[in-house]
Amino acid sequence: MRICFVSHTARRNGAELALLELLQGLHELGVECLVFVPKKGALLSDLDELGIKWRQLNYRWWWKSKGKALPLRILRTLQGLIAALRMAWIIRNWDCDLVYTNTIAVNTGALAAWIARKPHVWHLHESAYRNADLKFDVGERWAAFLVDHLSAFIVVVSHSIANDYSRYIKLERMHVIYQSISLGGSGDNKPYLDLNKNTFQCVVVGSLQPAKGQDEAISAIAEVVRRGIDAHLILVGDSQGYFRAELKRQVATHGLECRVHFIGYSNDPGRFIRMADTVLICSQWEAFSRVTIEAMLAGKPVIGSARGGTAELIRNGENGLLYEWGNHIQLANKIQFLYENPNERYRLGTTAHAWAQRRFTQERYANEVFDLLSKVVENKM
């Protein structure tokens, strides 16, 4: 089987890492893969290491921030059609069996597959309706129509995603397949920060943005410190300047300058997860919550907001703890509970590790996707 994959970037973010895991698994099953990327990036060295072919082709996203002028949206749509024609020519020449678009951020692969008369699969890692600032060039209803009608079937990363798209796409058209997760990194557990060994370390991994809830984590840390707990918060992730400034002001207001640590981007976030006493997932909504599984694989207890994909992964009191998003006091109570109950920390972390290691394997992920793709190629879907 030969499959052309279309990625929206060549970076190493969540959707791209999931694609890499899938490519590895399919490669081991004997599938020949070609990956399209719009620009060069760190992902390409991973593809080279695996011996997977890639092509750079200039194509654009079909959604942008609201407020963009109509002529610019029309121009971007025309550019997308031109890119799709070029991609279709490559697809035909490579004689692939199927085209697989890894994200809803780009539609070039779907259009190219339609032009080349090849079956197409759309893999949705994100909701198109959770960011009010984003707008499809063709509007959300038409975008959903194209996703539905230009796909043999649609893969979604969680039931939460499926429910979001069900306003326009029938649930039976969507197949929930949880991705695989490998906890990468060097395994270096040397302390990054000069903290007392008895300090209770809470870690948040994710870009600094309001939807990720770092401000809620800071408020919770301020509360547990007020209660007399020697807690520190480590924020790992790149930043949008204005929100980082807001977080810095919040930290100063609570007098937490020595307790909240801004690490910035790290190519080995697993290092900080392994250092943590607990990992916090404070997102307003996550499509899947990759960091939750990474923390579980590291054997760390997770406290997550009871929303979206996070709530699908954490079974409260069994493999982690859930709290009501927006309630920093409840989050502080959960942190205090883990601080005061080291045996529970160990039990939750151990249970989570066993469950995640069993469930989120590359072999299971690749086989589930491969079975569906085989049916499409054999014209059974």
pLDDT digits (tens, 9 = 90+) for 275-301: 999 999 999 999 999 999 999 999 999
Q: Strand, coil or helix: what is 379? A: coil
Across the chain, the runs of DSSP E, i.e. the strands, are 2-6, 32-37, 53-56, 63-65, 98-101, 120-124, 134-136, 153-156, 174-176, 200-205, 231-236, 260-264, 278-281, 302-305, 321-323
List the domain boundaries for the chain. 2-180+361-377, 200-359
Rounded-to-integer distance, Cα 16 and Cα 14, Å:
5
pLDDT, tens digit only, all 381 positions of the chain: 999 999 999 998 889 999 999 999 999 999 999 999 999 999 999 999 999 999 999 998 888 765 556 666 677 777 778 899 999 999 999 999 999 999 999 999 999 999 999 999 999 998 888 877 778 888 888 899 999 999 999 999 999 999 999 999 999 999 999 999 987 655 555 656 666 667 999 999 999 999 999 999 999 999 999 999 999 999 999 887 789 999 999 999 999 999 999 999 888 899 999 999 999 999 999 999 999 999 999 999 999 999 999 999 999 999 999 999 999 999 999 999 999 999 999 999 999 999 999 999 999 999 999 999 999 998 855
Q: What was the pLDDT predicted at 200?
A: 95
Q: Do the first three CATH levels of 2-180+361-377 and 200-359 match, i.e. the same topology?
A: yes
Is residue 272 within 8 A of residue 266, CB to CB? The reply is: yes
Q: What was the pLDDT predicted at 64?
A: 75
Q: What was the pLDDT predicted at 71?
A: 66
Q: What was the pLDDT predicted at 80?
A: 78
CATH number for domain 2-180+361-377, candidates 3.40.190.10, 3.90.1150.10, 3.40.50.2000, 3.30.460.10: 3.40.50.2000
Alpha carbon dihedral 191, 197, 202, 204, in 10-degree steps, equals: 0
Q: What was the pLDDT predicted at 73?
A: 67
In terms of C-beta density within 10 A (0-12 exposed, 13-18 middle, 19 or more buried), how is residue 198 classed?
A: exposed
Q: What was the pLDDT predicted at 140?
A: 84
Rounded-to-integer distance, Cα 312 and Cα 346, Å:
22
Is the pTM here over 0.85, yes or no? Answer: yes
Q: What was the pLDDT predicted at 62?
A: 86
Q: What is the CATH code for 200-359? A: 3.40.50.2000
Q: What was the pLDDT predicted at 189?
A: 57
